[in-house]
Structure 1
């Protein structure tokens, strides 16, 4: 067994079989609630460690309206290490290499240049998230200890005294129970597990919401994010193949008013803010095509309780600013897998001693600092850029910063690193790695 500074442990023990009885309820070693990026990455990694793992996903498939389709350089590197990058790279996707903001006198300012990053894949890939999840789920299904149960909506937790020993769920076949040595909540900001636990959280005020929609266009918009700010409105255009994914920002609590104005006014606002799309806005058929996101920013003070752990948005709801929430959730999953794999294999989360519970605190300790730093950056951007833009005739980056970046463009690697890599990036455990990544990996 080897332990490194990143809390990585090589698995060296045989897998424990499931208890076939468990009082009539099925049992697994680790129950993961939620088949999003965090849940499936954690499930894949633990399964490659030989841990018996069951992922419960409330939907029948992954074909639903995801808003976060960003795959950051650290996640691309993870796919490489897991032997999945070539399959990912074959998916239809676009690449973002720069972030550009409007500057004074109509001149755009390059704020972040991902191509300057010294990583294997120096860009952000934009891919429909259902394609990414299908890829990870297929890879996990090749592991004999992995099970994915779709149309299983977790409704609460099962307790034995103060300890969580599994989950209750509803499915087309009826209500059921799944017992587990450890339950991991990866079911997002509206997590049923998080609600059942009642863990204390710190809430941060957010004054805006986001409306997501797509504009079909035959005109390519390059490889840059295109934020636009003007007269109380903000929009971010994300170039995709054959269309642009748009995030329109507005004051929180105004969704009803936006919809009362109707689709014609909405199209006109889009054309004014994004004139390069003016000829295509009629493709927004109705307000039903515009999805409202209630933006939240919070984090649990305690991510765990006896027998249960929260990671990803279930532990820390993120703002969509920077698209970093997915990357942070994936990094949580990698860290959790490295720390939890051997204790799960040894069975230290079950039995009378249950000495494995303290291991859960190690996951929180490792991932708290990155969460705090990223949320602090998001709150700064909210206060200094987004809210002033929504409340006035527009804002631009500080003139001193503009002059500095134009004089020293190499500095654009700093925001690129913060967004694309982030603090404390995690590496795939050695026991989860497989050949078959990219040629550059």
Structure 2
């Protein structure tokens, strides 16, 4: 069980270094990586080196840094200000309008894109600055966006869902299409919880509608800033090419699977940066010295976010090498408890596994066993599968390794460590509770 103890030590080391010693999260993640490596014994140098190399090739590492750069460049132009003026013209009269919009947009985008980091990047690049302008703190803005990342897993038809229903264990318990309705309803329950949370957060933080004198009439804001709406194009175009109605004929013509050929998490920030360069060209530096100054201003955030992401993925790779998935599978198979306790135990184990692993990797490792464990205590297989996917959806809100945390923090330019406690309190633990209630039939999905 050495890998399980390594996971516990990883989390404890990060919390101690960050919360007790008050060191920054980048440094804390390096310490956590070193602690995990120590559990590999003589193979530590090999595992740590390969883990580091793999982490440097992660798309999320690039996306996190790209969005930091994009947000800094965007701040040098009036493009985003004009877009926010338009949004405030229509929704600024609502208390917490930007927060509700961010959550609903996260659900809609998640139902299409399904990748947590993509959901965070696409939605957060617009709504985080809007929330901050409306009086929401940077930490809360980033927390709301990262907390919605998991909705990509709780709606059909994510890759994570297909990994689960395609496993040998689950195919013996149910037909693949039996999960579609339960998972769609489970996703709506998760969205409903987030909307209730928004209501609480708006009142807890005393958020008010935008003052009438600060709201530009809709016609005027559209006339002045209609070009800022083009910021949605870098989101829409990759989606149409990979999942839209033109994706099928393109795939047939090129003989390529477009969803595999075009990575949303890579191309959305690239296209956004290019578009920002074009829209803000009159307000951006025209000399090398000017661009060097911008890079210098972004360097501190590049350092913290980059180191944090690389260390998190490196540690996850080492944990996989020393047998974390196999050992947790053994634990699941040995469980024996009544339905309510089994649902809680399975949920906790899945959530813990999803800390260092992605939801897809979690389902590949223990998803089938988790569903079988719930079916064994009388829970219908489609309901059990939906509940297990809800548990796994906490990956985006699971400190310290959730990639959406660092993408959101990069956009909001805040310390990711300050998001850990709110994410656990507002998203990770409550979504675990939603999954348990779904498994027990108290939140019906069939």
Q: TM-score, normalised by structure 1?
A: 0.21
**Structure with the higher fraction of residues in strand conformation:** 1
Larger RCO of the pair (alpha carbons < 8 Å, separation 6+): 2
> Which one has a larger percent helix, Structure 1 or Structure 2?
2
